[in-house]
Chain A
Amino acid sequence: MAVIIPARLAVVEAKLYLREPVAVFFAVVLPLALLLVLGAAIPDFRKPAEDMGGYRPVDTHLPAMMIMLSVLTVAFSILPSVLVLYRERGVLRRMSTTPVRPISVLTVQLALNVATAVIATALMLVFGNLILDVPYPRMFLAFLGVFVLGSVTMFGIGLALAAVAPNSRVVQGAGAGVMFPLLFLGGMWLPRPLMPEVLVVISDYSPTGAFGQALTDVFTGRAPSLLHLAVLAVWAAAAIFAAARWFRWE
């Protein structure tokens, strides 16, 4: 069952990906700009904050949120939209009449979107460090591990959305409809330490609450909690199962 990815397919899909500047803007430019602009414009973000355990938000909470924003944008919005559009317009069906299997397209699209999130994250780490003196994560391997686990979870949920959405209009609406509440639970607008207790519990068990807190923890130099890693793993398993179970090529 090896999936052979024709090099030409990867090249053409990459070109098509770059021809949609909106995608790259929301996944790369917007989170990076928000990190730098908010970090530079809001003095409180550069002062040690008591509810952040004495760390500067710009070193911990802010980059964690912006990395999550980038991953969610590609995983919930860009990837599912393209896959459902390809299914709706018969692009995948057409390909299934050739020696190349349509799962190659899915694999290439997944790789492109993962690459986008990785590039956006790398740019945020580098420019955050150069411009705002955000230190690189001290536990770099732990940071990588959390990033990979969180990305697997978010892309799994995105693929599950693409699997169950009947058409591209629905998947775009559903992607946004899922993304904003999840960003909220992740602490995007109301950091978890400021959340009421009930909300913290809900956040703990949500994929973004777990991802956001685990990222914040590794930026702070703390090990992420086992609860959050387990929550991410369970969401990942459930989402990937759903995607594999219900994904249709036509």
Chain B
Amino acid sequence: MPIITVENLHKRYGEKVAVADVSFTVDEGEIFGVVGRNGAGKTTTIECVAGLRTPTSGTVRVAADLKQEVGVQLQDCSLPDKIRVGEALDLYASFYANPARPADLLAEVGLDPKKKFATLSGGQRQRLSIALALVGKPRIAILDELTTGLDPQSRRDTWELIERIKERGVTVLLVTHFMEEVERLCDRVAVISEGRVLAVDTPAGLIARADGSDRVIFRTTGSVEALKSLPEVASVSVVGDQVTVTGNRDVLHAVVAALPAGQIADLRTERTTLDDAFLTLTGL
């Protein structure tokens, strides 16, 4: 039984269609990603799920109390400059019936409760924002672009935090445009383009869908004619002494087994990445 069901969501502002037709379901306990280019309709979609916007048509069902049991982290939401980190968390904790202990959350996100909001770095603000989304001990956390603008270390720290949230059984709905983030965190993703869902799948499923082929690239002085007849190989191309062989997942083993040892140099393989899959799916 899904905890979030979105069916034929359509949202229009005047003449401008922000979301054309989006449907997906999120199961309890999973990390579900919504990916797409800027302006694809990701944020509008999850703001409809969070109850911040009313769909023009279509249905959004959330099997939880939107105010008490759903924690939301939004883009472009900040706090008063002079509020201290500890005050902000205590304040938000006071809004909920059964909140987490602010001190525990602060330790988890590694923030100093005495610091004022204005003095926090971008990464610290982002972590505070996540902490505020979690302070009500939500069953569902909705996080919009949570690592945009963070340095690589803060980004990894944030990912670990999300993984710990998932371990507690919290369902996470995550908007992102980082494929690395999707690969690391998401159980399933919906790829959205121009307000429509192109695919809903696991990250591995998306890669397989886009183009399953692997490429083996090496230099050799010997003949590569024999490779062309192998069942694992789809194509062989030679430019000077550089050879590129494409094929299925076993193509690397087949190539290495078919050529005499000592004739291959600078061998590397390229796999279809989630980035490639995303670009293929969204039409580039």
Q: Which of B68, B80, B83 neighbours the largest number of chain A CB atoms within 10 Å of its CB? A: B80
C-alpha spacing A80/B87, complex, angstroms = 23
Q: Taking the complex as formed, is A100 at the interface, i.e. its CB lies under 8 A from any CB of chain B?
A: yes
Q: Taking the complex as formed, is A169 at the interface, i.e. its CB lies under 8 A from any CB of chain B?
A: no
Q: Taking the complex as formed, is A50 at the interface, i.e. its CB lies under 8 A from any CB of chain B?
A: no
* Chain B neighbourhood of A15, CB < 8 A: 87
| Inter-subunit contact A8/B94 (CB<8 Å) | yes
| Inter-subunit contact B94/A90 (CB<8 Å) | no
Given contacts A98-B92, A98-B96, A12 and B87 within 8 Å (CB-CB): yes
Mark B176-200 against chain A: 1 for CB-CB distance below 8 A, else 0: 0000000000000000000000000
| Inter-subunit contact A90/B82 (CB<8 Å) | no
Q: Taking the complex as formed, is A96 at the interface, i.e. its CB lies under 8 A from any CB of chain B?
A: yes
* Chain A neighbourhood of B136, CB < 8 A: 98-99
* Chain B neighbourhood of A85, CB < 8 A: 80
**How close is A18's CB to chain B, nearest CB, in angstroms?**
10
Given contacts A8-B90, A9-B91, A12-B83, A94 and B96 within 8 Å (CB-CB): no
| Inter-subunit contact A97/B80 (CB<8 Å) | no
| Inter-subunit contact B95/A16 (CB<8 Å) | no
* Chain A neighbourhood of B96, CB < 8 A: 98-99
Q: Which of A1-41 contact B (CB under 8 A)?
A: 6-9, 12, 15-16, 19-20
Q: Taking the complex as formed, is B50 at the interface, i.e. its CB lies under 8 A from any CB of chain A?
A: yes
Mark B101-131 against chain A: 1 for CB-CB distance below 8 A, else 0: 0000000000000000000000000000000
C-alpha spacing A8/B68, complex, angstroms = 17
* Chain A neighbourhood of B71, CB < 8 A: 97
| Inter-subunit contact A97/B74 (CB<8 Å) | yes
Q: Taking the complex as formed, is B284 at the interface, i.e. its CB lies under 8 A from any CB of chain A?
A: no
C-alpha spacing A96/B51, complex, angstroms = 9
Q: Which of B52, B68, B91 neighbours the largest number of chain A CB atoms within 10 Å of its CB? A: B91
C-alpha spacing A6/B97, complex, angstroms = 12
Among A86, A89, A91, A93, which residue has its beta carbon within 8 angstroms of that of B52? A93
**How close is B65's CB to chain A, nearest CB, in angstroms?**
9
Given contacts A97-B70, A98-B96, A90 and B76 within 8 Å (CB-CB): yes
Q: Taking the complex as formed, is B79 at the interface, i.e. its CB lies under 8 A from any CB of chain A?
A: yes
| Inter-subunit contact A94/B82 (CB<8 Å) | no
Q: Taking the complex as formed, is B78 at the interface, i.e. its CB lies under 8 A from any CB of chain A?
A: yes
Among A7, A12, A89, A98, which residue has its beta carbon within 8 angstroms of that of B78? A89
| Inter-subunit contact B67/A16 (CB<8 Å) | no
- Closest B residue to A95 by CB, please name it: B95
Q: Which of A175-221 contact B (CB under 8 A)?
A: none
Nearest 5 A/B pairs, CB to CB: A90-B77, A8-B94, A97-B72, A94-B77, A99-B67
Residues of chain B having any CB pair with chain A under 8 Å: 50-52, 67-68, 70-72, 74, 76-80, 82-83, 87, 90-92, 94-97, 132, 136
Q: Return 12 A-B CB contacts under 8 Å, by A number.
A: A8-B91, A9-B91, A20-B82, A89-B80, A93-B77, A97-B52, A97-B70, A97-B74, A98-B136, A99-B96, A99-B97, A99-B136
